[in-house]
Structure 1
Amino acid sequence: MRIYLSVDMEGVTGLVDAQDVQPAGRDYEYGRQMMAEDVNAAIRGAIAAGATEITVNDAHGPMRNLRSDMLHPAARLIRGKPKNMGMLEGLDDTFDAALCIGYHSRAGTSGVLSHSFMGHEIEDMWLDDRATGEIGLTHATAAALGAPVVLLSGDDTACAEMAEWDSGVRTAAVKYARGRFAAELLPVAEARDAIETATAAALTGELPAPRPAPETATLAVRWQSASVADTLLNLPGVTGRDDRTVAISGPVPEIYRQFRVWLNVAASLTDQRPYC
């Protein structure tokens, strides 16, 4: 059984602030260790369920947060950027399942460190007119690539967002949001046990088939800056909905790849702070 882990950082056990998850932050090294241990808990759960090959993709920010010497030796690590598929680099239909570890809720929610891909620059996103963020777009893209998402860990708001998107995905809440930069934390041992136990349960028995992906879908993104939308209209296939909202239609993996380009364009045009 081949298992894929996409690992973000904002939803990791114990972390609540940009200082915990950004390389310049005073508690970033603590955050890296906590991130690695959440991943190791998921790896142990996957091994208990019979996984024979595990790939971990560092999906947060600079994508150089995880160190291979911190990880369980059963896993291979994809690290660094740029990567054409970003948070899903290396995922394909040879994997039996995908796990989302340390994920967070979308922009506009009161979840811990909530945002959609870019600090404060992306105000809203919709996939086929359904409000989404990193959770929904990752889930849909993984399904289109042929690997079902079977587990998500993060705060209670992220878990609720995943349940709303797909109630069949098992979740493990490691903290309870008390705002964007505060949370009630589970004891560390309890949180890691929740991840390990939920992972083993999600991977035991018959795994679900990926949900059939539509031949084409439409992704729309509303930016804070009209200049981002203006610039993106120069790309083939991009259409405008209003001064700050652009959209594109096509197969989900192709939409996801182009969206990665959109993020690079937006970063070049705006003064991005990690969170607002």
Structure 2
Amino acid sequence: MKVYISADMEGITGLVDAEDVQPPGRDYERGRVMMTEDVNAAVRGAYQAGATEVLVNDAHGPMRNLLPDLLDPRAALIKGRPKPMGMMEGLTPGYDAALCIGFHARSGILGVLSHSFMGHEIEDIWLDDRPVGEIGLFHTTAAAYGVPVVLLTGDDAACGEMTAWDPEIATVPVKFAKDRFAAQLVPVAEARAAIETTTQAALRASNTVPTVNRTSHRLAVRWQSASVASHLPAIPGVTRTDDRTVTVDAPMPDLYRLFNLFLRVATALTSNPPYC
């Protein structure tokens, strides 16, 4: 059994603030340890369930957060950026299951460190007219590969967002949002144990394979900056529908790859810090 793990940071056990998850934050180095240990809990659970191979993709911010010397040595690691598929780099139809570790709620939802990909720069995203964030785009793209998402860990808002996309997916809330930068934390040992046991159970219970759907989807992105929206129509197929919104139609996973190109253009054009 081949297992793929995408590891974000905002939904990691114990982390609640930009200082925890963004270099050079005063608690960022501690946050890296916490992130690595949450991933290790999932790796242990995967191997207990019978995994023969685990690939971890560092999917947060600079994508250089996980500590290789502390990572379970049975797991392979993708580290650094840019990556054509960003948070989903390395996922192929050859995997049997995908896990989302440390994910967060989308922009506009009152969850811990909630946003959609770029802090304040992305105001809203819609997939086929449905509001979507990192969770929904991950779920839809994995389905296009025929790979079931079986687990998500994060705060209660992120868990609820995943359940809204697919109620069959197991979730582990490691904290409960009080506001965007405040949460009631699950004790660290308890959270890690829950990640490990739930990963094991979810993988053992998984026996469904999503129907691969190569039909076209429509992605709409509303930016804070009109400058970003004015440049993106230079990409073939992208249309600007108002000063700050662009749309594009494509099948998954091509649409996800194209959206990652949007992010690289926006990064080049703006300098907004995250979570401000």
- Output the TM-score relative to the length of structure 1: 0.98
Q: Structure 2 unaligned segments of length 5 or more: list them.
A: none
d(CA) in 1 for partners of 2:53 and 2:162? 25
Q: How many residues align?
A: 276
The aligned residue for residue 222 of structure 2 is 222
1:47-72 per-residue CA deviation (whole Å, 9 max, x = no partner) reads 11111100000000111101211111
Identity %: 64
Amino acid at match of 1:124: D
Following superposition, the deviation at residue 205 of structure 1 comes to 3.5
The aligned residue for residue 210 of structure 1 is 210
Matches within 5 A, 1:107-146: 107-146=107-146
d(CA) in 2 for partners of 1:78 and 1:214? 27
d(CA) in 1 for partners of 2:263 and 2:94? 28
The aligned residue for residue 254 of structure 1 is 254
CA RMSD of aligned residues (A): 0.9
1:147-170 per-residue CA deviation (whole Å, 9 max, x = no partner) reads 111100000000000000111111
SS in 1 for 2:179: coil
1:221-264 per-residue CA deviation (whole Å, 9 max, x = no partner) reads 00011111111112100012221110110111111111111111
Q: Does 1:67 align with 2:84?
A: no
d(CA) in 2 for partners of 1:188 and 1:219? 38
The aligned residue for residue 37 of structure 1 is 37
Amino acid at match of 2:265: V
SS in 2 for 1:233: helix
1:180-199 per-residue CA deviation (whole Å, 9 max, x = no partner) reads 00000000011001111110
d(CA) in 2 for partners of 1:103 and 1:7? 7
d(CA) in 1 for partners of 2:206 and 2:4? 17
Contact 1:15 1:31 in 2 (8 A): yes
The aligned residue for residue 148 of structure 1 is 148
The aligned residue for residue 273 of structure 2 is 273
Following superposition, the deviation at residue 214 of structure 1 comes to 4.4
Contact 1:83 1:89 in 2 (8 A): yes
d(CA) in 1 for partners of 2:171 and 2:124? 24
The aligned residue for residue 171 of structure 1 is 171
The aligned residue for residue 190 of structure 1 is 190
d(CA) in 2 for partners of 1:238 and 1:206? 37
